[in-house]
């Protein structure tokens, strides 16, 4: 089944199309959720809620851009909404992190995905969210500012501090592994 046919069937609410979309995309959508949320069960809950919204709102997809990109945006928005309720995005800078200097981290560091996720989860909620939206999802600072109801400067600052803190964590990881 090609994508236009699949989308038409989803828009009609056909169960087989929903099952196909779920089986094809649930893993990648869960990965997105897990980058924002620290807990596997919470990430799964958000992913499931996102999939339900995708199925309920399939009629809103206008064939502009990719269908997968449209789904990702729904799932990211679902994760952000969950974060706002569960882990407020104060986007405030914690004292320990306010004077971070970027450390030289080895580009050849060998990190497992689990290690990187653990480092991301070690970031304060605001840092982690802006980092994910900018560095991983590819949103601009303007888009992030609109999504999180902050100004662009705050988004840029949070990204800079997130990167510096991640570099500091990376250096610590390299030191402890040597």
pLDDT tens string 18-52: 999 999 999 999 999 999 988 899 999 999 999 99
CATH of residue 8's domain is: 1.10.1740.10
User: Is the Cβ–Cβ distance between 114 and 161 less than 8 Å?
Assistant: no
CATH of residue 173's domain is: 1.10.10.10
Domain containing residue 131 = 95-177
Report how many domains make up the chain.
2
Dihedral sign for Cα atoms in the order 64, 67, 68, 74? positive
* Residues 45 and 116 placed together within one structural domain of the fold: no
* Residues 41 and 10 placed together within one structural domain of the fold: yes
* Residues 38 and 81 placed together within one structural domain of the fold: yes
Q: Which of 39, 116, 22 is nearest to 75 (CA)?
A: 22
Lowest mean pLDDT among 76-90, 100-114, 133-147, 152-166: 100-114
Q: Which of 130, 98, 126, 118 is nearest to 170 (CA)?
A: 118
Mean pLDDT of 108-123: 73
Whole-angstrom Cα Rg for the chain: 18
* Residues 52 and 110 placed together within one structural domain of the fold: no
60, 86, 112 — which closes off a domain? 86
32, 65, 86 — which closes off a domain? 86
DSSP-assigned letters across all residues of 56-125 = HTGGG--SSS-HHHHHHHHHHHHHHHHHHHHS----PPPGGGTT-------TT----HHHHHHHHHTS-H
pLDDT tens string 140-169: 999 999 999 899 999 999 999 999 999 998
* Residues 7 and 48 placed together within one structural domain of the fold: yes
Q: Which of 42, 32, 24, 28 is nearest to 139 (CA)?
A: 32
* Residues 23 and 76 placed together within one structural domain of the fold: yes
């Amino acid at each position: 089944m090609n994508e236009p046919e699949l989308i038409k069937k989803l828009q009609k609410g056909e169960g087989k199309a929903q099952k196909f979309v779920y089986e094809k995309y649930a893993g990648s959508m869960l990965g997105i959720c897990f980058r924002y949320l620290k807990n596997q069960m919470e990430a799964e809950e958000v992913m499931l809620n996102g999939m339900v919204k995708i199925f309920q709102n399939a009629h809103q997809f206008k064939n502009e851009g990719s269908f997968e990109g449209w789904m990702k945006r729904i799932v990211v928005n679902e994760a952000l909404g969950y974060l706002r309720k569960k882990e407020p995005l104060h986007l405030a800078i914690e004292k320990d992190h306010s004077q971070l200097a970027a450390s030289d981290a080895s580009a050849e560091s060998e990190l497992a995905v689990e290690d990187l996720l653990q480092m991301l989860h070690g970031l304060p909620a605001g840092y982690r969210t802006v980092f994910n939206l900018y560095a991983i999802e590819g949103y601009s600072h303007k888009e992030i500012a609109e999504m999180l109801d902050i100004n662009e400067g705050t988004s840029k600052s949070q990204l800079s501090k997130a990167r510096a803190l991640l570099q500091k964590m990376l250096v610590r990881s390299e030191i402890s592994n040597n």
